[in-house]
């Protein structure tokens, strides 16, 4: 497992560390469908290598910039597209390499983000102090080129599929069908007919809206409570350190035979856990209590991000996951962009940081409760389909989903035998 997860840990860590920058949030999410098409057409290896090359080139060329517009173009546009290619392809390769141990593999891969958050932030400060911002960008560009090396070890997995059936159609019907197929390949809108996907998407959007503002304003909130700036900045390091260990542990728990068949409920619990401590944060006025909040923040944040893409894989299956994650990333970029400014607006209006924590905690907790309730409906719906597969037909997708669930359960039982 570690042999295949190590390059993905590097890739996902780099992607999430840089993609939290507002400059590249939208560019790194917008090309999600394009990345999905490329992954399905060429596989993960060339897409990751191309994305790594784009990221490295964007950093190196940005070091020669003399205007903010030039930096937006290099880091925002070119680097954002490269990060999107890396993220989609690295997550897709996990779904192809692993089945019985996939939640654990996802947890290990997602641990790359806090690892790089803990070590790269101090390194970046050191580079800025010794080499300036231009030299720092050159060195970071060289680091990003290692994504090409990580992509090179992602061996493609042989796919065994039956050839498509040919049906005689008039020429006009064929041309019209081919055009519709091209549009569907780019953005598969049929996902919006799947109740499970809609439920997941609503909860995901609500979480993303409130997820990043507490990270942005935590240090400022601590300073407003009388904490020294250095000690306040240390809170994020505590949060990242805890997050680093929680993600693989969450993957281990999610991989157990008791949790995996109902993994969506664990995701709901993680969101409610995360949101609850945001609601309690304004009550924590001393530094020891803020340290405790940072610890629980890291636990909740790590649990959610260890499960966020695993739950999408569980709902959509391996074959449809590349298209689904491309659509999800382009949708979630909007709440990611709106969340921190909305929180900052509350601070400006009320001149108090506690209201942003109330907003973020309330939105995330509501999203978790929504997922918890609606997943009861979705699991009952899937049980009815499993008992009578002909009662619901959404172009055969539900039947494929049930078959994959059975295959997963069977392989999990085999792998758990001593």
Q: Which residue segment(s) compose the domain that 291 sits in? A: 187-418
Q: Please check whether residue 207 lies inside any domain of the structure.
A: yes
8 Å CB contact between 299 and 273: yes
Q: Please check whether residue 180 lies inside any domain of the structure.
A: no
Which among 78, 60, 56 has a CA at the least distance from the CA of 148?
Answer: 56
Domain boundary among 155, 178, 200: 155
pLDDT of 365 reads: 95
Dmax over CA atoms of the chain, in Å, equals 76
pLDDT of 273 reads: 95
pTM recorded for the entire structure: 0.75
pLDDT of 414 reads: 44
Q: Please check whether residue 231 lies inside any domain of the structure.
A: yes
Alpha-carbon distance 110 to 15, whole Å?
A: 10
Alpha-carbon distance 329 to 394, whole Å?
A: 24
Which among 42, 141, 135, 137 has a CA at the least distance from the CA of 92?
Answer: 42
pLDDT of 147 reads: 83
Domain boundary among 108, 132, 155: 155
Q: Please check whether residue 46 lies inside any domain of the structure.
A: yes
CATH number, domain containing residue 357:
1.20.1250.20
Looking at the fold, whether 248 and 103 belong to one and the same domain comes out as: no
Looking at the fold, whether 102 and 191 belong to one and the same domain comes out as: no
pLDDT of 234 reads: 83
Looking at the fold, whether 217 and 361 belong to one and the same domain comes out as: yes
pLDDT of 418 reads: 42
pLDDT of 185 reads: 53
Looking at the fold, whether 99 and 216 belong to one and the same domain comes out as: no
Domain count, the chain: 2
Q: Please check whether residue 173 lies inside any domain of the structure.
A: no
Q: Is the dihedral of CA 217, 212, 304, 195 positive or negative?
A: positive
Q: Please check whether residue 78 lies inside any domain of the structure.
A: yes
Q: Please check whether residue 181 lies inside any domain of the structure.
A: no
3-state secondary structure labels for all residues of the chain: CHHHHHHHHHHHHHHHHHHCCHHHHHHHHCCHHHHHHHHHHHCHHHHHHHHHHHHHHHHHHHCCCCCHHHHHHHHHHHHHHHHHHHHHHHHHHHHHHCCCCHHHHHHHHHCHHHHHHHHHHHHHHHHHHHHHHHHHHHHHHHHHCHHHHHHHCCCCCCCCCCCCCCCCCCHHHHHHHHHHHHHHHHCCHHHHHCHHHHHHHHHHHHHHHHHCHHHHHHHHHHHHCCCCHHHHHHHHHHHHHHHHHHHHHHHHHHCCCCCHHHHHHHHHHHHHHHHHHHHHHHHCCCHHHHHHHHHHHHHHHHHHHHHHHHHHHHHHHHHHHHHHHHHHHHHHHHHHHHHHHHHHHHHHHHCCCHHHHHHHHHHHHHHHHHHHHHHHHHHHHHHHHHHCCCCCCCCCHHHHHHHHHHHHHHHHHHHHCC
Looking at the fold, whether 137 and 194 belong to one and the same domain comes out as: no
Looking at the fold, whether 293 and 407 belong to one and the same domain comes out as: yes
Alpha-carbon distance 231 to 287, whole Å?
A: 8
pLDDT of 404 reads: 53
pLDDT tens, N- to C-terminus, the chain (418 residues)? 433 344 444 444 444 444 445 444 445 455 666 777 787 788 778 888 888 898 888 888 888 888 778 877 888 788 888 887 887 787 777 777 777 777 777 777 777 777 776 776 677 778 878 888 888 888 888 888 888 888 888 877 666 554 544 545 555 545 545 554 554 555 667 788 888 899 999 999 999 999 888 988 888 899 888 888 888 878 888 888 898 889 889 888 888 888 888 889 999 999 999 999 999 999 988 899 999 999 999 999 999 988 888 888 888 877 788 778 878 887 888 888 888 889 989 988 988 888 999 999 999 999 999 999 998 888 888 888 877 765 544 444 444 554 455 555 445 444 444 4
8 Å CB contact between 48 and 10: no
Looking at the fold, whether 373 and 240 belong to one and the same domain comes out as: yes
Q: Please check whether residue 280 lies inside any domain of the structure.
A: yes
Alpha-carbon distance 219 to 297, whole Å?
A: 13
Looking at the fold, whether 129 and 194 belong to one and the same domain comes out as: no
Looking at the fold, whether 218 and 341 belong to one and the same domain comes out as: yes
Looking at the fold, whether 300 and 360 belong to one and the same domain comes out as: yes
pLDDT of 276 reads: 94
Neighbouring C-beta atoms of residue 169, cutoff 10 Å: 11
Looking at the fold, whether 294 and 339 belong to one and the same domain comes out as: yes
Alpha-carbon distance 352 to 397, whole Å?
A: 49
pLDDT of 193 reads: 84
Looking at the fold, whether 258 and 122 belong to one and the same domain comes out as: no
């Amino acid at each position: 497992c570690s042999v295949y997860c190590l390059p993905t840990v590097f890739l996902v860590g780099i992607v999430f560390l840089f993609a939290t920058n507002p400059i590249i949030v939208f560019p790194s999410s917008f090309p999600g469908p394009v990345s999905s098409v490329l992954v399905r057409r060429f596989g993960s290896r060339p897409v990751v290598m191309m994305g790594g090359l784009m990221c490295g080139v964007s950093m190196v060329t940005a070091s020669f910039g003399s205007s903010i517009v030039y930096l937006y173009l290099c880091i925002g546009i070119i680097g954002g597209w490269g990060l999107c290619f890396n993220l989609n392809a690295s997550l897709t390769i996990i779904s192809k390499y692993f089945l019985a141990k996939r939640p654990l593999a996802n947890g290990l891969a997602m641990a790359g983000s806090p690892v790089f958050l803990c070590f790269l932030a101090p390194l970046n400060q050191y580079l800025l102090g010794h080499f300036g911002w231009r030299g720092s960008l050159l060195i970071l560009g060289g680091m990003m080129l290692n994504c090409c090396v990580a992509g090179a070890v992602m061996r493609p997995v042989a796919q065994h599929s039956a050839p498509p059936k040919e049906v005689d159609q008039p020429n006009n019907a064929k041309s019209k069908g081919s055009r519709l197929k091209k549009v569907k390949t780019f953005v598969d809108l049929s996902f919006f007919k799947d109740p499970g996907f809609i439920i997941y998407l609503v909860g995901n959007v609500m979480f993303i809206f409130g997820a990043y503002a507490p990270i942005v304003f935590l240090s400022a909130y601590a300073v407003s409570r009388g904490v020294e700036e250095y000690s306040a900045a240390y809170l994020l390091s505590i949060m990242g350190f805890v997050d680093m260990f929680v993600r693989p542990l969450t993957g281990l728990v999610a991989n157990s035979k008791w949790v995996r068949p109902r993994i969506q409920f664990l995701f709901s619990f993680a969101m409610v856990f995360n949101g609850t401590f945001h609601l309690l944060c304004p009550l924590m006025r001393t530094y020891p209590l803020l340290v405790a909040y940072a610890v629980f923040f890291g636990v909740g944040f790590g649990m959610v991000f260890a499960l966020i893409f695993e739950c999408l894989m569980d709902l959509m299956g391996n074959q449809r996951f590349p298209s689904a994650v491309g659509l999800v990333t382009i949708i979630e970029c909007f709440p990611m962009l709106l969340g921190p400014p909305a929180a900052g607006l509350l601070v400006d209006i009320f001149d108090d940081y506690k209201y942003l924590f109330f907003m973020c905690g309330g939105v995330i907790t509501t999203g978790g409760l929504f997922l918890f309730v609606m997943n009861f409906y979705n699991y009952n719906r899937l049980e009815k389909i499993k008992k009578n597969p002909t009662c619901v037909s959404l172009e055969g997708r539900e039947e494929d989903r049930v078959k994959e669930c059975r295959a997963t359960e069977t392989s999990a039982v085999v792998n758990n035998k001593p």
